[in-house]
Amino acid sequence: MSQPIRVLLAKVGLDGHDRGVRVVARTLRDAGMDVIYSGLHRTPEEVVSAAIQEDVDILGVSLLSGVQLTVFPKIFKLLAEKGVSDMIIVAGGVMPDEDVVELKNMGVHEVMLQDTPPDAIVKTLTRLVTERGPR
Amino acid sequence: MNKTVDQLRAEEKDWEANEVAQFLKKQAERKTQFFTLGDIPVKRTYTAADLAETPEEDIGLPGRYPFTRAPYPTMYRSRNWTMRQIAGFGTGEDTNVRFKYLIAQGQTGISTDFDMPTLMGYDSDHPMSDGEVGREGVAIDTLADMEALLDGIDLEKISVSLTINPSAWILLAMYIVLAEKRGYDLNKLSGTVQADILKEYMAQKEFIFPVTPSVRLVRDCITHCAKTMKRYNPINISGYHISEAGASPLHEAAFTLANLIVYVEEVLKTGMQVDEFAPRLAFFFVCQADFFEEVAKFRALRRCYAKIMKERFGAKNPESMRLRFHCQTAAASLTKPQYMINVVRTGMQALSAVLGGCQSLHTNGYDEAFAIPTEDAMRMALRTQQIIAEETNVTQVIDPLGGSYFVESLTTEYEKRIFDILKEIEDRGGTLKLIEEGWFQKQIADFAYETALRKQSGEKPVIGVNRFVDGTPDPKIHTHPYDKSTAERQIARTKRVRAERDPKLMAELLEKLKTVAADDSQNIMPVTIELVRAGATMGDIIETLKTVWGTYRETPVF
């Protein structure tokens, strides 16, 4: 039997909008994934070390405060420093289209915006893990 | 002669058995049961029999107890609602330009959005503020920022709303010092500070300190203003964020009143009489998609509030019993695809606020599913209000939906359900206990999850997302740009203020702040006013208080 997909969902920075991340957490849990939710107001350092410690397949960061172009470079830098290269990084939230392009260029695997249906999120994450292959 | 309720019901039954039944044979209805957005079942139609449980005196007249129909007897016939578009980005100077633009476009009040560091009590040069300075609102660290923000705006003519919560009392102190410096009579200034911390723990999640000292700060704002700023609203008890976090309209209404009850009880404990402060309690609700449900919600809220203030708290002054509210269209209802249709959504929602009798209104920008709004989007939003106010004539008659069998029946249903929830909250141990237990948070999350599933299945139609999806790309949208020099400009001023102030005085005042904070019987406003006048930053005050009160971290539920 294959291991369930392990996901850390995180809120980084001062943003308190947690409606979306909690809907996603529940959706993924109901789909049989192992879900850890960081809670609010975490730093990139806290999130990256938790993701490594928990050995997750996917780190999902939810942002509705517009700071995606500050937060994700920090996350990638920390991951590189710790020698992590196979973690799937996804973003979610409300952000302009230009930022979505920039995040993908930076190495974010998928950006899922508001109104993404729950099933589509499950499918996307499952696909990303399949594409990555076994670790 | 009027028919009796029994006769009316018999007639309705007969209609169901004949006209309806025959018609249904030809064409079935779209669904077997219909519900409001908040899950309240609705009938095929309503008759006078549905008003049987609504006593005539519960409907009443505008400006008269229980204020179901309106808080004032003349409403928009005297003066339209305040058109209050919220704005905030960059530094005080940047937002001041937007304020002046909106005023020039006919806006009649201003409302300030603060950036996340300001909302959470961090100075702009704190590591947690990186990337956030002036991004989603205006950055305010010191009185000097506030002076730039309100430069050239006549505070006696334009009321200012400060949309801020855990650090609200500091902003209020800055506003007070600024007003004093400009020579205003504080008792003449109208305005509002949101300062509603309980809904933060429930929904918006901007908090710093644990619940008990946070509620004390709210109490201190209310009592201080009641004594020194007679026309100022020291709190804006808000359902808006509860709704945006995913709650049903019913929960929005009920949870807001649960919070009201806590605040009133806290102030009463100081020995202040209810009529000394209740007339300045103000509210803030969302107006969202289900048109008649929203109107009924507003009407029920007014009735529930009147009854709570009179029957539970023994208010004598009618002004203590009339609920006044600001309203904002539902940001969470906006869509990225076909974004211009957000104008239509917002217009419909705004109309429900007006027919529901709001005192002030913010209409969202069509571009807010992308970023904070541009000037163009805000002008369109303001024009939407102006069309309702000046072209539609809906302002001529007060509570024009009053007497509608459906709206009256739904109003009474709302009232009943709100009181049921308030009782449940009390039976479960009260609002503060349930906040700590995450009960409200769970109720809100449940409805948010339900809504996501209903959007997915199409049961909840969202045009452009799950209905009438159009493959053609939308015209390119120009979103609000973030000026990368913001943090630098902002931090420079904060550093200048720190360099120019008297360090000895600052140290003394911060010590005094600790003493006041540790003594629950004192009011924190006077020392805070002294601090901001002497050049204290937001961070100075907040970090000092963290050493006394600690911080709050929620146990997340999903």
* Interchain contact, B132 vs A14, CB within 8 Å: yes
Rounded to an integer, what distance in angstroms lies between the CA atom of residue B378 and that of residue B500? 38
**CATH number given to B65-72+83-457:** 3.20.20.240
pLDDT tens for residues B542-557?
Answer: 999 999 999 999 988 8
Report the side by side order of strands in the sheet with A34-37: A34-37, A6-11, A58-63, A88-93, A110-113
Among partner residues A37, A97, A119, which is closest to B556 by beta-carbon distance?
A37
pLDDT tens readout for residues B441-455: 999 999 999 999 999
Q: At what angle do helices B168-181 and B538-549 cross, to 10 degrees?
A: 140
Q: What angle do CA B97, B98, B104 make, to 5 degrees?
A: 90
Q: Encode pLDDT of B169-227 as tens digits.
A: 999 999 999 999 999 999 999 999 999 999 999 999 999 999 999 999 999 999 999 99
Q: By CA distance, what is B201's nearest residue in A? A: A16
Name the closest residue on chain A to residue B456, using Cα atoms: A117
Distance (Å, rounded) from C-alpha B262 to C-alpha B198?
9
Residue B391 pLDDT > 90, yes or no? yes
Which stretches of chain A sit within 8 Å of chain B by CB? Answer: 13-19, 21-23, 25-27, 29, 37, 39-41, 43, 65-67, 69-71, 94-97, 113-115, 117-119
Q: What is the pLDDT of residues A20-30, one digit of tens each?
A: 999 999 999 99
- Cβ burial of B74 (10 Å; 0-12, 13-18, 19+) is exposed
Contact B226, B234 (CB under 8 A): yes
Q: What is the pLDDT of residue B471?
A: 84
Query: Which residues 519-548 of B have a C-beta within 8 angstroms of A?
Result: none
Choose among A27, A70, A97: nearest Cβ to B131: A70
In 3-state terms chain B splits into helix, strand, coil percentages (rounded to 5) of 55, 10, 40
CATH no. of A6-132: 3.40.50.280
> Hey, are the CB atoms on A115 and B465 less than 8 Å from each other?
yes
- β-strand pairing of B236-238 with A58-63: unpaired
Token output for B163: 């949309």
What residues contact residue A129 under an 8 Å CB cut-off, 6+ apart? A5, A57, A58, A88
Let me know the angle formed at the C-alpha of B105 by B101 and B107, rounded to the nearest 5 degrees: 95
pLDDT digits (tens, 9 = 90+) for B486-541: 999 999 999 999 999 999 999 999 999 999 999 999 999 999 999 999 999 999 99
Residue appearing with tokens 């209609």: B15
Model confidence over B259-302: pLDDT tens digits? 999 999 999 999 999 999 999 999 999 999 999 999 999 999 99
Looking at the predicted structure, is the pLDDT value of residue B1 above 80? no
Interface touch B558/A69, C-beta < 8 Å:
no
The pLDDT-based confidence of B124 (bands split at 50, 70, 90) is very high
Q: Enumerate helices (H) and strands (E) in chain A, giving the number of each.
A: 5, 5
Domain boundaries, chain B: 65-72+83-457
Quick: pLDDT tens for A76-131: 999 999 999 999 999 999 999 999 999 999 999 999 999 899 999 999 999 999 99
Long-range contacts of B271-276 (CB under 8 A, 24+ apart): B272/B223, B272/B226, B274/B309, B274/B313, B274/B314, B274/B315, B274/B320, B275/B315, B275/B316, B275/B317, B275/B319, B275/B320, B276/B226
Report residue B150 as tokens. 């309100």
B551 touches chain A (CB under 8 A): no
Average pLDDT, chain B: 96
Where do the structural domains in chain A lie, given as residue ranges? 6-132
Residue of chain A whose alpha carbon sits nearest to that of B370: A96
**A1 pLDDT exceeds 60?**
no
Query: Who's near B529: CB < 8 A, 6+ residues apart?
Result: B173, B176, B177
Amino acid sitting at position B52 = A
Work out the minimum CA distance from B85 to partner chain A, whole angstroms: 20
Q: What span, in angstroms and rounded, lies between the C-alpha atoms of B288 and A14?
A: 27
Residues of chain B contacting A34 with CB distance shorter than 8 Å: none
Nearest to B131 among A25, A29, A67 (CB): A67
Computed over every residue of chain A, the mean pLDDT equals 95
User: Would you state the pLDDT for residue A113?
Assistant: 94
Average of per-residue pLDDT across B414-426: 98
Cα separation, B260 vs A105, in Å, equals 48
Kindly report, residue by residue over A34-48, the tens digit of the pLDDT. Answer: 999 999 999 999 999
In this structure, are residues A112 and A92 in contact, taking their beta carbons and an 8 Å threshold? yes
Q: Could you tell me the two tokens for B268?
A: 């009463």
Say if residue B66 is preceded by a cis peptide, omega within 30 of 0.
yes
pLDDT number for residue B557: 80
CA atoms within 13 A on the CB side of A28: 25
